[in-house]
Amino acid sequence: MVGLGPAGAELLTAQVVDLVERAERVFLRTVRHPAAAVLGQADSFDHHYEQQPTFEAVYQAIVADLIATALRDGPVVYAVPGSPMVAERTVVLLREAPAVVAGEVDLAVHPALSFLELAFDRLGVDPVASGVRIVDGETFGVDAAGERGPLLVAQCWSRSILSEVKLSVDWRESGTSEPVVTVLHHLGMADEVVRDVRWDELDRSFDPDHLTALWIPTLSAPVAPELVRLDELMHTLRHRCPWDREQTHGSLARHLLEESYEVLEAIDALAAVDAAQPAGAGWIEQPVGAEQQAVADLEEELGDLLFQILFHATLAEEAGRFTLADVARGIHDKLVARHAHLFDHRVEAPERLDVAWETQKKAEKHRSSVTDGIPAALPALALAAKLQRKGSIVGMRLAGFDEEVARVSAELSALADAVHAGGESDDRAVSDGESRARSIGELLFSVVNLARVAGGVDPEAALRVRASAFRAEVQAQE
Asked if 230 and 218 sit in the same domain, the reply is: no
Which domain, by its residues, includes 248? 226-338
pLDDT digits (tens, 9 = 90+) for 67-92: 999 999 999 999 998 898 888 889 99
Same domain as 105, residue 14 = yes
Task: Give domain status of residue 137, yes or no.
Answer: yes
Domain count, the chain: 4
CA-based torsion, 67, 69, 75, 76: positive or negative? negative
Does a structural domain hold residue 306? yes
- Which one of 208, 223, 238 terminates a domain? 223
Q: Which residue has the higher pLDDT, 34 or 173?
A: 34
**What digits encode the pLDDT tens for the residues 162-186?**
888 888 776 655 555 677 889 999 9
Residue 372 within any structural domain of the chain: no
Measure the CA–CA gap between 437 and 293, rounded to whole angstroms.
Answer: 42
Cα-based angle 332, 335, 336 (whole degrees, multiple of 5): 85
Say what the pLDDT of residue 171 is: 62
Interatomic CA distance for residues 178 and 173, integer angstroms: 11
Determine the 3-state secondary structure of 82 from DSSP: strand
Is 367 a member of any domain?
A: no
Q: Is residue 354 pLDDT above 80, yes or no?
A: no
The reply to whether 351 falls in a domain is no
Tell me what pLDDT residue 279 has: 40
Query: According to the per-residue pLDDT averaged within each range, which of 17-31, 178-192, 313-327, 332-346 is highest?
Result: 313-327
Q: What does the pLDDT look like over 376-391, one tens digit per residue?
A: 778 888 888 888 888 8
Choosing from 338, 369, 403, the residue where a domain stops is 338
| Exposure on the CB side of residue 327, measured as CA atoms within 13 A | 14
- Asked whether residue 474 carries a pLDDT value surpassing 50, the answer given is yes
* Shared-domain flag, residues 325 and 257: yes
pLDDT of residue 357: 64
Residue 406: pLDDT over 60: yes
Same domain, yes or no: 128 and 169? yes
357 in a structural domain:
no
192 has pLDDT over 70: yes
Give the lowest-confidence range in 221-225, 241-245, 458-462.
Answer: 221-225
Q: Say if residue 17 is in the same domain as residue 84.
A: yes
pLDDT of residue 98: 92
Burial track 386-405 (b if 16+ CB lie within 10 A, e otherwise) = bbbebeeeeeeeebeeeebe
The verdict on residue 210 lying in a domain is yes
Decide if 167 is inside a domain. Answer: yes
Confidence bin at 219 (pLDDT 50/70/90) = confident
Q: What is the mean pLDDT of residues 132-154?
A: 82
**pLDDT tens per residue across span 239-294:** 999 999 999 999 999 899 899 989 988 988 888 888 765 443 344 455 557 888 99
Q: How far apart are CA 266 and CA 428, in angstroms?
A: 46
Write down which residue in 223, 253, 274 finishes a domain: 223
Give the C-alpha distances (Å, rounded to integers) separating 419 from 356, 401, 409, 430.
46, 27, 15, 13
Kindly state whether residues 192 and 143 are assigned to the same domain.
yes
DSSP H helices, 319-379, are 324-338, 340-343, 350-365
Lowest mean per-residue pLDDT among 135-139, 150-154, 183-187, 272-276 = 272-276
